[in-house]
Amino acid sequence: MYHTYMSSEEHLDDLDQALVRLRRLWSAPRSSIKDGGMPVDMSSILVIEACARGEEAGEDTTIRDIAAFTDTEHSTASRLVDRAAKAGLVRREPSPADARRTRVVLTDGGRRTREHATGFRLAWLTEVLRQWPEGDVGHLAALLTRFADEVDRHGPPGRPADTS
C-alpha cells in the first residue's frame, strides 16, 4: 500500500528539473531509429505504438485513439497517420464493426519497425542502467509506471483532471 504525503518544494523542483532533462528521450535525432536503413520519424513510432496497443487489446484503433495517445488534435493525428501510411507502416481500412468508422491497422512493415524500435530502446536502457542493481531498476520501473498512471488519470498540465 502506498502512503499519501506531500512532497517538499525541493523534491518537486528536483523532479521537475529531471523531467525537463528527460524530454530529450523523445527528441532523439531522427537518424537514431532506422528501419531498413531509413530513418523513422518519432511521430510514426508513436502511431505504430498506438496501433499495436489497440491490436494487443483486441480493439480497433481509430484516429481518435491515436490523437489521445499522441496528445494531439484529431487533424494532427490524421496527418501523422498519413505520414506513417506513406511510409508503409500502417493502413486505413473500414471498421468491420461499424462501416462509418475507419480503423488504422499495422502493416507487417509497421510490426517490424515496432520490434526494431523496441529493441533499440531496450538496448539503450540496458547500457544506461548497466551499473544499477537489479532491485533499483525494478523500483524505478514500478515508480515510473505509477507516475505514468497518475499522469494518465490527471492529464497533462493545463487540462482538467479525469474524475472517474
Q: Could you list the residue range(s) of the whole structural domain that residue 57 is in?
A: 31-154
Torsion angle (degrees, nearest 10) of CA 119, 125, 129, 133: -60
How many structural domains is the chain composed of?
Answer: 1
Domain annotation covers residue 118 = yes
Domain annotation covers residue 1 = no
Domain annotation covers residue 90 = yes
Query: Over the stretch 125-158, which tens digit does the pLDDT of each residue have?
Result: 999 999 999 999 999 999 999 998 998 888 777 7
Transcribe 5-53 into DSSP letters: -PPPHHHHHHHHHHHHHHGGGGG--GGGSEETTEE--HHHHHHHHHHHH
The dihedral built from the CA positions of residue 147, 24, 36 and 69, taken in this order, carries a sign that is positive
Q: How far is CA 120 from CA 90, 136, 142, in A?
A: 20, 22, 21
Query: Over the stretch 54-103, which tens digit does the pLDDT of each residue have?
Result: 999 999 999 999 999 988 999 999 999 999 999 999 999 998 888 888 99
Residue 154 makes CB contacts below 8 A (sequence gap 6+) with 161, 162
CATH number at 111 reads 1.10.10.10
What does pTM read for this prediction?
0.77
HSE, side-chain direction, 13 A CA sphere, residue 143: 7
Domain annotation covers residue 20 = no
For residue 3 the three cell numbers come to 502512503
Domain annotation covers residue 7 = no
